[in-house]
Structure 1
Amino acid sequence: MSNISDSITPSGYIMGTGVLQAQINNPNDYLGSKINEDYMDYVHPHWRQYQAPEAYQHFLLGLVYAVILVVGMLGNLLVIITFFTSKGLQTPSNAFVANLAVFDALMMSKLPVFVMNSVVEGQLFGKIGCDIYGLIGSYSGMGAAITNAAIAFDRYRTIAFPLDGRLRMKAAIGIIIFTWIWATPFSILPFFEIWSRYTPEGYLTTCSFDYMTEGKSTQLFTMTIFSWAYVVPLLMITLFYTKILSHVRDHEKMLKEQAKRMNVKSLSQGDDKSAEIRIAKVAISIVFLYICGWTPYAMVALIGCFGERSLMTPTFSMFPAIACKTVACIDPWIYAINHPRFRAEIQKKVPWLCIFGQESKSSDNKSTVSDVTDVKSETA
């Protein structure tokens, strides 16, 4: 602990580079001037070479996060409540979606702390606040990543093996427990400073694992968590959706050949198959958002650890944080709007939420038939 602190003390950094020398006479102008002195060892000197952001910049970021909080929490809570209060929706496939909504809601839950940090232009709750903020972000980010992989796996089994490939609820619950176990090691280790730690970044109003401190330990941790939280889930997601697309392509080819032999124009693949493919498309959209949301953050961590740090201004480093939180905000709305059964149930529960529109009678009938089919398949 002392070695880490000594390596990032302001004096050593200033005397070594002279970057901050011009700011010594006016300390209120530099970033971190409103951080408690006993916590300054956790603020990497890279951030403290920059001028403090203007008050309006903190205000705008706080306002953006407040909007994301309201919209995201509402959407995720609607998905969670709808799943647990609607028996027709309590299938293994939807359990994964509900689990993703839980992780996304967890991401939303830390945003009030950011808004308060923006008001005081620093860490309102000091070290413990930063540690809890980082812990929640780590759990929600890694949990959402591996849950997206679980959704891809479930979609693959359901579409490729519709008769005997559907997961049972017990298996789905086991996988959901696994997603929480998956997110635990590299969330807990920095929290207790066993390996790495949580530190302020950007405007020093957010916290993440330490990817700035020089040394092989930081580099090893950054590469490990990059692989664990980003590369492995992404490879799993790519594998399963590639298999889905290959299966659908082969299935369509088989239908065309069979139709040609039967001398008919086409063979319908049925409402159930179409519905499963439509749901897979929604899942792919969520995964695409996940990639857009977390790739910038992964790149920032790699640049901070291995790259050209001059690119990492405080303002630049705040945008990836906004991106990943925006994705957690948008996920439930995309799923709820594109999934006819979720949309119908949410419309019943909150009819004033007119963005969903009115379901047509035929859509309702299809939704009911699909509900009955899914319930039968789960209880068989």
Structure 2
Amino acid sequence: MNVTGPLVPNAHLLRSDILDSGNDFLGSKIDQDYMDYVHPHWRQYQAPEPYQHFLLGLAYAVILVVGMLGNLLVIVTFFMTKSLQSPSNAFVANLAIFDTLMMSKLPLFVMNSVVEGQIFGKIGCDIYGLIGSYSGMGAAVTNAAIAFDRYRTIAFPLDGRLGMKAAICLIIFTWLWATPFSLLPFFETWSRFAPEGYLTTCSFDYMTEGKSTQLFTMTIFSWAYVFPLVMIALFYSKILSHVREHERMLKEQAKRMNVKSLSQGDEKSAEIRIAKVAISIVFLFICGWTPYALVALIGCFGDRSLMTPTFSMFPAIACKTVACIDPWIYAINHPRFRAEIQKKVPWLCIFGQETKSSDNKSSVSDATDIKTETA
């Protein structure tokens, strides 16, 4: 049920993890003129121990290093390797850019953890929320664009491939898609960015009571999560249906020709292999952003007694971990990316040496890229 009424601590929330006499309350190190942005729900809780801030800051520092390295490797490799500059890879590079944007705000979180609050006050919170909003919604719709591109490539290999101009238009669209619900709370035109959890992170305000908050929460939930997820599910279900139909036709043709089986061909296998990579990235996105969506819905419509500061920090960790893992999943599964990264940074031995089989698959990918350029 939604919490309405006076903004005072509720009796059923006063447990052992709530403010006890003599202990600092959550937000005690926040500037007084900024306390209006801290919802009273968070101020009921006892301040986290310093070691909790330290562990979170340490975890985010590791995610920052690993995630920034992986995403920058994908971006630099894409822009420096002409053979990789296909429409399909452009979408993956765009995803890496959004993930890099997500990584770029982690130093601010680490500093916030050191001071156990918002080191730059309101403007720091607004910038943190703005970057998170652009990177989160941008990654969501980019995953939908990847699914659309894979569907067109596999279902219509001759005349359905996206050209580079069409891909660039879709990439611009992903940035435009993320703009309205990033700028509206930034300028406080509709909703606002506010501290959450340990008050070292900021997101759109899903805690303030009122119909406006509920409407904004449901709108951004649909815009940033439901719609991209529906598009992703639709396109990948069509891919799976097409692959099953293609296999059925091959079996029937093999039966008529009185042979055991017919090969689908290296190019078709390569496309299906890349589709599997895209599906894995989408799966990571679901794992990363579903917890955040649930927390926002609970905070806006549900039982807020479940919304402890520690509980609300886990979704933020999940989404940033996914942004860290995305490029490594793609690089490990794509022979051409792996080979080019190995050439450019040979000291990064985790990629290992390419096998002959991988080289053959790379050649197929090159051929696919060339065909795409001429589509």
TM-score range, shorter chain: over 0.9
Deviation at 1:159, TM superposition (A): 0.2
Q: Distance in 2 between matches of 1:328 and 1:335?
A: 12
Which residue in 1 is equivalent to 2:259?
264
Would the alpha carbon gap of residues 309 and 265 (structure 1) be closer, same or farther in structure 2, given more than 3 Å must change? same
After TM superposition, give the deviation of residue 363 of structure 1 in Å: 2.1
Quick one: which of 7, 20, 23 aligns to 1:13? 7
The 1-side partners of 2:164 and 2:143 are apart by: 17
Name the residue aligned to 1:79: 74
1:4 matched to which residue of 2?
A: none
Within 5 A, what are the aligned runs for 1:208-223?
208-223=203-218
2:140 to 120, 137, 145: 145
Match of 1:282 in 2: 277
Deviation at 1:72, TM superposition (A): 0.3
Match of 1:162 among 157, 162, 176: 157
1:225 alignment counterpart: 220
Q: CA deviation at 1:301?
A: 0.1
Q: 1: distance between equivalents of 2:116 and 2:335?
A: 44
Equivalent position of 1:44 in the other structure: 39
3-state SS of paired residue (2:184): helix
* 2:100 equivalent to 1:99: no
Farther-moved stretch of structure 1 (337-346 vs 192-201) = 337-346
1:23–1:29 contact (8 Å) kept in structure 2: yes
Which amino acid is the alignment partner of residue 80 of structure 2?
Answer: T
Instruction: Specify whether residues 198 and 368 from structure 1 end up closer, same or farther in structure 2 by C-alpha distance, changes over 3 A only.
Output: same
Task: Return the letter of the residue paired with 1:13.
Answer: L
| Aligned residue type for 2:132 | G
Per-residue Cα deviation, 1:74-120 (whole angstroms, up to 9, x for no partner): 00000000000000000000000000000000000000000000000
Counterpart selection for 2:199 from 180, 197, 204: 204
Report Cα offsets for 1:325-354 as digits up to 9, x if no partner: 000000000000001111111111111111
How much has 1:19 moved relative to structure 2?
A: 6.8
Identity %: 86
Counterpart position of 2:122: 127
Q: Which consecutive unaligned segments of at least 5 residues does structure 2 have? A: none
**C-alpha distance 16-277 of structure 1, shift in aligned 2 (>3 A):** closer
After the TM superposition, which residues 296-335 of structure 1 pair with which residues of structure 2 at under 5 Å, given as runs?
Answer: 296-335=291-330
Could you tell me which residue of structure 2 aligns to residue 291 of structure 1? 286
Q: How many residues align?
A: 369
Q: What TM-score results when the alignment is normalised by the length of structure 2? A: 0.95
Measure the CA separation in 1 of the matches of 2:9 and 2:261. Answer: 77
In 2, Cα distance between equivalents of 1:219 and 1:264: 62
d(CA) in 1 for partners of 2:25 and 2:9? Answer: 17
Deviations 1:184-231 (A, max 9, x none): 000000000000000000000000000000000000000000000000
Structure 1 residue 367: deviation in Å? 1.1
CA distance in 2, matches of 1:271, 1:203: 52
Q: Secondary structure at the match of 2:199?
A: coil
What's the CA shift for 1:362?
A: 3.6
Match of 1:199, SS?
strand
Matched to 2:216, the amino acid is F
Q: Answer yes or no: is the 8 Å Cα contact 1:42–1:200 preserved in 2.
A: yes
Offset at residue 24 of structure 1 (A): 9.1
Secondary structure of 1:330's counterpart equals: helix
Structure 2 counterpart of 1:188 = 183
Residues 88, 372 of structure 1: 8 Å contact kept: no
Q: Specify the alignment match of 1:3 in structure 2.
A: none
1:294-343 deviation line (CA, Å, top 9, x unaligned): 00000000000000000010000000000000000000000000011111
What one-letter code is carried by the residue in structure 2 that aligns with 1:240? F
Residue 14 of structure 1 aligns to a residue whose secondary structure is: coil
Distance of 2:9 and 2:182 partners within structure 1: 34
CA distance in 1, matches of 2:13, 2:246: 63
Q: Which structure 1 segments of 5+ residues have no match?
A: 1-6
> Whole-Å Cα distance in 2 between the matches of residues 146 and 19 of structure 1?
38
* Mean Cα deviation higher: 344-353 or 159-168: 344-353
* 4+ aligned runs moved over 6 Å, structure 1: 15-20
Is residue 352 of structure 2 the alignment partner of residue 357 of structure 1? Answer: yes
Write the distance in 2 (CA, Å) between the matches of 1:109 and 1:96. Answer: 20
Select which of 176, 182, 186 maps to 2:171. 176
Distance (Å, rounded) in 2 between the aligned partners of 1:373 and 1:285: 21
Deviations 1:26-82 (A, max 9, x none): 4x6100000000000000000010000000000000000000000000000000000
Shift in CA distance, 282/18, structure 1 to aligned 2, threshold 3 Å = closer
Contact 1:200 1:206 in 2 (8 A): yes
